[in-house]
Amino acid sequence: MSDRVETLRRVPFVLSAARSAGKLVNHTIPDLLRPDTDPDALDRSAVDPAAAAPATCLGPGARDEADLPLTPAEIAAARNPAFTAEDVTDFGSVDFVADPFMLPGPERWHLFFEVCNYARDPDAVIGHATSPDGLRWEYDRAVLNTGEHLSFPYVFEWEGRRYMVPEEGGSSGRSIRLYGATDFPHEWEPRATLVSADHRTDDTVLFRWRDRWWLLVGDGEAAGLRAYHSDSLVADDWEPHADNPVVTGRPAAFRPGGRPIVGSNGVLVFFQDCEHRYGEAVRAFEITDLGPETYADEERTESPILEGTGARVGWNSGRMHHVDPWYADGRWLCVADGNVANSAVFTGRHWALGMYGAD
């Protein structure tokens, strides 16, 4: 019987019908049944992009302590999803959107994310959307297509310039490239090859800590984490950590799951929980020792900070594996992604994006 089910799943019509049913049951109907949003709550969640401080670089408004950006109550109160595959208009019949990262501008927020369509070659590119308040998003276009699978578009700003470090090549990727914006947000060009590796490069985050640049990247073959460092951001062949991989055999927390929070007293890193299946939750770890020859981290007691609701239906009823936190005017604005439960019935191709405001 299971062989027959698997065969049916490969029939294009059956696959399309399952996906459509999943979107109807998990996105459309829950939204129709949800009470109208309180306008005051909406206003409290809106964040002025001009007031935002990046979590990865200390600056005006950034917190000194690496506090967690979300609580269960704030997650439950949010109305989501805020952006789905149906919002993408230039990449065919899109299967899902995932791995969201934001950047603020003078008047609006910018959102970059993976756009995946398994019927295309390449099957994933980087998309872009904008918002005046971080709540209501309008799709723009695909902004990066290198001819191979792209995801996890880690975007950040340094010394007035915008950069992106996407995952390239999926599970076969073995290098990490830094892209710089030549005409933000639409045009990007390679600036440096930070890492050319003999291991997997499963999602990369960068941050500056104590006058040195650090790069953390997952290695799925070892269920581990590797670290690299450099005096300069735009430089080829960053120095590998002396003890790479700095973490091994930790499937519940090895693959970065969003933007780190860098405070004056420490660094908080988010990891995807892949112990039982890919991207089941987001776990928070405090880095307690970081140097060219030392690395140690420990999980926060509040972890995991994001996970599926466990409900039978809903846009994030099954899994959540990504968070991007920004701090402005005394509160957090976070974007996350989620997938539905019952993926065996509806297919697992329903990743969508949600927004959260937290005091």
Q: Scanning the structure block, which residue is given the tokens 């019952």?
A: 342
Structure tokens at 17: 């019908």
Tell whether the model's pLDDT for residue 126 goes beyond 70: yes
Residue 11: predicted pLDDT: 52
Residue 30: predicted pLDDT: 66
Q: Is 259 helix (H, G, I), strand (E, B) or coil?
A: coil
In DSSP terms, which residues pair with 236 in a beta bridge?
none
Residue 50: predicted pLDDT: 77
What top-level class would CATH report for the domain 2-358?
A: mainly beta
Q: How far apart are CA 253 and CA 260, in angstroms?
A: 14
- pLDDT bin (cut points 50, 70, 90) of residue 51 is confident
Residue 9: predicted pLDDT: 45
Structure tokens at 272: 């995807």
Tell whether the model's pLDDT for residue 40 goes beyond 50: no
Least confident of 29-33, 271-275, 292-296: 29-33
- pLDDT bin (cut points 50, 70, 90) of residue 59 is very low
Percent of the chain with pLDDT over 70: 78
Q: How far apart are CA 130 and CA 238, in angstroms?
A: 33
Dihedral sign for Cα atoms in the order 343, 347, 348, 352? negative
Residue 60: predicted pLDDT: 35
Tell whether the model's pLDDT for residue 78 goes beyond 90: no
Q: Which of 2-11, 14-23, 206-215 has the highest mean pLDDT?
A: 206-215
Q: How far apart are CA 258 and CA 354, in angstroms?
A: 14
Residue 199, classified by CB atoms within 10 Å of its CB into exposed (0-12), middle (13-18) or buried (19+), is middle
**Angle formed by the axes of helices 2-9 and 12-23, to 10°?**
90
Tell whether the model's pLDDT for residue 263 goes beyond 90: no
Which residues have C-beta within 8 Å of that of residue 103, sequence separation ≥ 6? 109, 110, 112, 155, 156, 157, 162, 185
DSSP string, 55-118: TTS--TT--SS---S--HHHHHH----SB-GGG--SSSS--EEEEEEEEE-SS-EEEEEEEE-T
Residue 124: predicted pLDDT: 98
Residue 25: predicted pLDDT: 64
Q: How far apart are CA 68 and CA 298, in angstroms?
A: 14
Q: How far apart are CA 163 and CA 256, in angstroms?
A: 18
The larger pLDDT score, comparing residue 28 to residue 17, is at: 17
Question: Contact at 8 Å (CB) between 271 and 258?
Answer: no
Residue 116: predicted pLDDT: 97
Q: What is the mean pLDDT of residues 289-293?
A: 97
Domain edges within the chain:
2-358
Q: Scanning the structure block, which residue is given the tokens 């993976």?
A: 114
Residue 155, classified by CB atoms within 10 Å of its CB into exposed (0-12), middle (13-18) or buried (19+), is buried
Least confident of 137-141, 164-168, 225-229, 354-358: 354-358
Tell whether the model's pLDDT for residue 1 goes beyond 70: no
Q: Is 351 helix (H, G, I), strand (E, B) or coil?
A: coil
Residue 265: predicted pLDDT: 80
Q: What is the mean pLDDT of residues 66-82?
A: 66
Q: Scanning the structure block, which residue is given the tokens 């809106």?
A: 46
Q: How far apart are CA 67 and CA 344, in angstroms?
A: 37
Q: What is the mean pLDDT of residues 171-180?
A: 94
Q: How far apart are CA 333 and CA 358, in angstroms?
A: 6
Q: What is the mean pLDDT of residues 296-311?
A: 93
Q: What is the mean pLDDT of residues 5-15?
A: 51
- pLDDT bin (cut points 50, 70, 90) of residue 333 is confident
Return mean pLDDT, the chain: 86
Residue 254: predicted pLDDT: 97
Nearest to 92 by CA among 114, 113, 128, 123: 123
